[in-house]
């Protein structure tokens, strides 16, 4: 099993580094929820609610391109940034090693 490192910027701006498996088909949202981060994920990962909104602080360019559906949902948010993504749309994969995210969704 190959693990990657996911860095989470906390509310107090400290960074927590978590080891994430890439062989289970988990999304970043599922992984963060499983690590007790406060993400509502109201729609269950269907890109319909944006409660799993994260800002990618570093590593954004390594991610796959945003889909039209994901962008349309993000575009409804008041706190969207140039590096906003929905955590439910990001499957844990090698290209995400060492990315840093800040949870922006409603659960926060």
d(CA 21, CA 62): 17
| pLDDT, tens only, 33-42 | 999 999 989 9
Residue spans per domain, the chain? 3-103
- pLDDT tens track for 55-72: 999 999 999 999 999 999
Give the closest residue to 77 by CA, choosing from 34, 32, 47.
47
Task: Write down the pLDDT at residue 108.
Answer: 42
Instruction: Provide the pLDDT confidence category of residue 1 given band limits of 50, 70 and 90.
Output: low
Tell me the fold of 3-103. Ubiquitin-like (UB roll) (3.10.20)
Q: Is the pTM of this model over 0.85?
A: yes
């Amino acid at each position: 099993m190959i693990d990657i490192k996911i860095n989470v910027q906390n509310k107090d701006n400290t960074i927590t580094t978590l080891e994430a498996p890439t062989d289970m088909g988990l999304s970043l949202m599922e992984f963060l929820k499983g690590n007790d981060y406060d993400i509502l994920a109201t729609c269950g990962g269907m890109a319909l609610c944006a409660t799993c909104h994260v800002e990618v602080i570093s590593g954004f360019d390594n991610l796959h391109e945003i889909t039209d559906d994901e962008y349309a949902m993000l575009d409804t948010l008041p706190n969207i940034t140039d590096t906003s993504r929905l955590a439910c749309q990001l499957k844990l994969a090698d290209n995400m090693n060492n990315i840093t995210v800040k949870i922006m969704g409603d659960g926060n």
